[in-house]
Amino acid sequence: MNFTLKIWRQKDAKSQGAFETYKVENISADTSFLEMLDILNNDLVHQGKEPVAFDHDCREGICGMCSLHIDGRAHGPGDGATTCQIYMRKFKDGATITIEPWRSAAFPVIKDLVVNRGAYDQILQAGGFVSVRTNSVPDGNAIPIAKADADESMDAAACVGCGACAATCKNGSAMLFVAARVSSLAKLPQGRVEGARRAKAMVAKMDELGFGNCTNTGACQAECPKQISIAHIARLNREFLSAKLDD
């Protein structure tokens, strides 16, 4: 398979970026998208040119680092999948593919397709944790947890923090990410102790970092590689309003 790639190239956050066009040929249909970029970079290196910078780690759909906008979709033409789980058979032979970094004010470009998603780390540091001791052996059975609550907590905890929700949202909102973190702890006894403080702290940090407001368009849920439901945003709102009323 042969493809024409229109890739965003940008030296750093302060430089002016632009699309550059590349050709890749004889690509197997079973090649993953990131492997295809590896092949392109190998060709560029042999030509004495600067390879394209892009983020990746596990290549198993676990870490969420492979954050690319492909033909206008976060992570590319697939549902419930990260970029590294997209294979070239998803594209037509001879297709022109446009590849961009996340487009969000809170995720400044570092270089080419790599963005700084440290804003998510700052939100987690503001409250996405529990301070109670939970690592001793008896804790697993000390407090029975209803299966429905445990399942819902684990569904929310599946968030990999890739940033697709904020990059897809027309408002640049991080509500789905924050809601998933709050919801995963709100459904567990260990997380209830700091529930009010957590909701207020994480929402405050989200606003401070310049993320937009949620207007319930559902784009975040549609593009989330872990298909996390926007129902968690409703729980975040309840947690936040309840904490404010208690104040």
Domains of the chain listed by start with CATH number = 3-111 (3.10.20.30), 117-246 (1.10.1060.10)
Q: What are 211's two structure tokens?
A: 């993320």
90 touches 1 (CB < 8 A):
no
pLDDT attached to residue 137: 60
- Could you tell me where the beta strands, DSSP code E, fall in the chain? 3-9, 18-24, 69-70, 73-74, 96-100, 109-111, 114-115
Convert the pLDDT of each residue in 109-143 to its tens digit: 999 999 999 999 999 999 998 887 766 665 555 67
Specify the pLDDT at position 247.
81
pLDDT at residue 134, rounded to an integer: 63
pLDDT of residue 158: 95
Cα separation, 120 vs 211, in Å, equals 10
Q: Please, which residues bridge with residue 23 across strands?
A: 4
pLDDT at 143: 72
Mean pLDDT (whole number) for 29-45: 97
Angle between helices 195-208 and 118-127 (to 10 degrees): 150
Read off the pTM.
0.90
* pLDDT score at 121: 96
- For 48-88, what is each residue's pLDDT tens digit? 999 999 999 999 999 999 999 999 999 999 899 999 999 99
